[in-house]
Structures are given as C-alpha cells and as structure tokens.
C-alpha cells in the first residue's frame, strides 16, 4: 500500500458517486421494483439490490432480472426490461436519494484548496448530469466522467487515466475515493492513491480486503488526509 504524499502533493481528487457521495439505493430499488412489477416478474428486497449496484445501469437491470449477481438473462427479456427501467429511473431519479453525512460541506472545503476535482462514476450520463445538478454538486467538479464517456468503465483504469491526462496530472499525484472493488481496482491499475469508504455498496466484499491504501468511515476525514499530505 502506498503512503499518501510519497509522490508529492495531491493534485487531483476523483470521487465515485453512488455509495460514496450519494445513497441512491432507495430510488434505484424503487425503479427496479416498478420495472419488475410492470413485467410481472418477482420483486427483490432493497438490501438485495444494494449488492448489485456499482457496475452501471445495464448490469443492475440484468442482475435484477436474474435475481442474482451473475445470472444469465435472455437478450429478449433484457431488451424489453431495460427501456422500462430507464423510464422509471428518470422519473424517480432524486426522490429519496440523499447525500451521505458531510459530503457537500467537505467538497466545498476541498474546492478551496486549489486541487482539481472530478466525479468518475459508472452511472450513465443521462442520469449523472441531471442528478448532480439537482443535488447542487454540479459546480463542484471540474470534470464529470460517466459510465458511457469512454469505451471502458471502472474497474478498467481508462476513466481515471484519461481524467489525469485531462488535468495534466501524474497518476501518482491523484487520489480515487470510492466504495467498491471497482473503484479500488481501477485506482490500483491506474496508479492512483486509493481511499475506500466503509459505508457504501460493497457487494458483500470486506472493504478492508480490497487493497485500498486507506479505509475511512467518515467522508470529512478526507480533508484531514489532504492536509497531512500537503
């Protein structure tokens, strides 16, 4: 594991969205329930849906249709269900979702430190952009990368490396903050310092075994870490 500050001052902060900044589980689960009900398919408890979040909307729908993490789904069924889910989620994008404690305040503090800030999520752009705007976070990020921005998404390092290149910052001077194996694996592959929050969507994984350079329980702890590395 790397030590924060080993390669100089952090110049880029990248944040995952769902499970890191935002508890979007209620609205995602409600949208899935409406989708499954419309198709006369079995419904799932919200806590089961929690473990399926993190790889984008397409995989989330496939998992809900299969009723498990890696189940097979007939292409015909998915092609029928996916547009239904997109409609319901668009209608319920920000009904019960809430920012985690201290997120907005912490991002505002970090914004004053002259560090480039990006949101790198696997959520499609059609949901990410309006959601950030509704949450009042849109202006806090210098760049927003979505699940359909590049050819690859997390856990592939491409979104992180492209973001670092955009800011002309070395990966070693960059930090990724996330909640799942996808975030940590992408950070490791890209050479970013990695922080895992222990309150998000882990898919059943033990956050202390994902290989993150640091695990935190409170989002505001990031400010202290940045100050210590300065």
pLDDT in tens, 72-117: 899 999 999 999 999 999 999 999 999 999 999 999 999 999 999 9
| CA-based max dimension of the chain | 56
- Residue 8 confidence (pLDDT) above 70: no
- Residue 2 confidence (pLDDT) above 80: no
- Residue 154 confidence (pLDDT) above 90: yes
- Residue 204 confidence (pLDDT) above 80: no
Q: In angstroms, rounded to a whole number, what is the distance separating the alpha carbons of residues 52 and 68?
A: 8
pLDDT at 5: 60
CATH H-level superfamily of 12-23+97-229: HAD superfamily/HAD-like (3.40.50.1000)
Q: Which residue has the higher pLDDT, 4 or 216?
A: 216
How wide is the angle at C-alpha 19 spanned by C-alphas 121 and 46, nearest 5°? 120
Helix orientation angle between 25-38 and 75-91, rounded to the nearest 10 degrees: 130
* Spatial CA neighbour of 28 closest among 47, 7, 12: 47
pLDDT at 127: 94
Residues acting as catalytic residues = 16
User: At 46, phi and psi to the nearest 5?
Assistant: -55, -40
pLDDT at 1: 63
pLDDT at 96: 97
Please, where in the chain does CATH 1.10.150.240 lie?
A: 25-91
Q: In whole numbers, what is the pLDDT of the chain averaged over residues?
A: 94
- Residue 158 confidence (pLDDT) above 70: yes
pLDDT at 228: 79
Give the mean pLDDT of 12-39: 97
- Residue 7 confidence (pLDDT) above 70: no
pLDDT at 82: 97
Give the mean pLDDT of 14-21: 97
How wide is the angle at C-alpha 152 spanned by C-alphas 199 and 183, nearest 5°? 20
pLDDT at 126: 94
pLDDT at 54: 80
Tens digits of per-residue pLDDT, 159-169?
Answer: 999 999 999 99
Please, where in the chain does CATH 3.40.50.1000 lie?
A: 12-23+97-229
CATH topology of domain 25-91: DNA polymerase; domain 1 (1.10.150)
């Amino acid at each position: 594991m790397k030590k924060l500050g080993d390669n100089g001052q952090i110049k880029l902060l990248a944040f995952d969205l769902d499970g890191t900044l935002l508890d979007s589980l209620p609205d995602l689960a409600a949208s899935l329930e409406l989708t499954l009900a419309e198709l006369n398919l079995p419904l799932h408890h919200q806590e089961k849906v929690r473990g399926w979040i993190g790889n984008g909307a397409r995989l989330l729908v496939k998992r809900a249709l299969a009723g498990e993490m890696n189940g097979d789904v007939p292409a015909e069924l998915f092609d029928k269900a996916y547009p239904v889910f997109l409609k319901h989620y668009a209608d319920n994008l920000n009904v019960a979702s809430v920012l985690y404690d201290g997120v907005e305040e912490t991002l505002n503090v970090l914004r004053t430190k002259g560090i480039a800030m990006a949101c790198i999520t696997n959520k499609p752009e059609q949901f990410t952009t309006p959601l950030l705007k509704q949450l009042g976070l849109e202006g806090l990020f210098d760049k927003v990368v979505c699940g359909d921005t590049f050819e690859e998404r997390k856990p592939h390092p491409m979104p992180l490396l492209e973001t670092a290149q955009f800011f002309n910052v070395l990966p070693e001077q960059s930090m990724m903050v996330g909640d799942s194996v996808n975030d940590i694996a992408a950070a490791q592959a890209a050479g970013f310092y990695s922080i895992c929050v222990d309150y998000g969507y882990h898919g059943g994984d033990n956050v202390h075994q994902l290989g993150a350079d640091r695990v935190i329980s409170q989002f505001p702890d990031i400010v202290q870490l940045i100050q210590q590395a300065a």
